[in-house]
Amino acid sequence: MSRAVGFLVRNYILCNLYIALFTNDQGFSTERTSQEVTKLTTNADAMDDLALDRQLCFPLYAASNLIARLYRPVLGPLGLTYPQYLVMLVLWENSPQSIGGLGEKLHLDSGTLTPLVKRLVAGGFVSRSRDPADDRRVLVSLTEKGRALRTAAASIPQSLVHGLAITSGELEHLRDEVQHLVRVLTAPDAETVPENRGLDGTDSPPR
């Protein structure tokens, strides 16, 4: 709908421009006409680029919120929130982990991660200790309760996917594409990439 509205607005502006130019008592300049059309066309394109359904960030943001909401009823009985569940996923793969290691894997800063770990400690799922090799580092380890929770959580991924209208192949493809986007955004030179450069390397804005 927003694309159609943008198209109509753009054509309305252009039509009125031509009417104004051709009915001017003083005549019109071909050069002026070209300049005005170019300016208004550029403005219309910029307006289209601000349409919500043309943003890359919005569907990712919306999907993240919806996924967290989807997990809530299955994680609640386990005593976990979705961010805490992500911490547990990392620890179930490899425990102990340093706070820095967890932050790197989850793309979270210490200010966000530390309260998550404290709540997991309070729940009895993990413990914190100083690294014997470097007492400046804090290690996070699974407790027996945390290890046992893995068995209770084992069916969560499949149970959630089962209720979605998407095939396993589509899901894997989507995951790979999003992982690629994460790699692009976390690349060392990510901050130097022009904002209007697409994921395919072109200079067109994301659609």
**Over the stretch 79-121, which tens digit does the pLDDT of each residue have?**
999 999 999 999 999 999 999 999 999 999 989 999 999 999 9
CA dihedral 140, 146, 149, 151 (to 10 degrees): 80
Which residue stretches of the chain have pLDDT < 50? Answer: 1-9, 11-14, 17-23, 25-26, 28, 192-207
pLDDT of residue 88: 97
Contact 99, 140 (CB under 8 A): yes
- pTM comes to 0.67
pLDDT of residue 42: 56
Residue type, 148: A
pLDDT of residue 33: 54
pLDDT of residue 191: 55
pLDDT of residue 43: 57
Buried b or exposed e, range 152-171, using 16+ CB within 10 angstroms? ebeeeeeeeeeeeeeeeeee
Q: What is the CATH number of domain 57-154?
A: 1.10.10.10
Q: List the domain boundaries for the chain.
A: 2-54, 57-154
Provide φ and ψ at 127, rounded to 5°: -130, 155
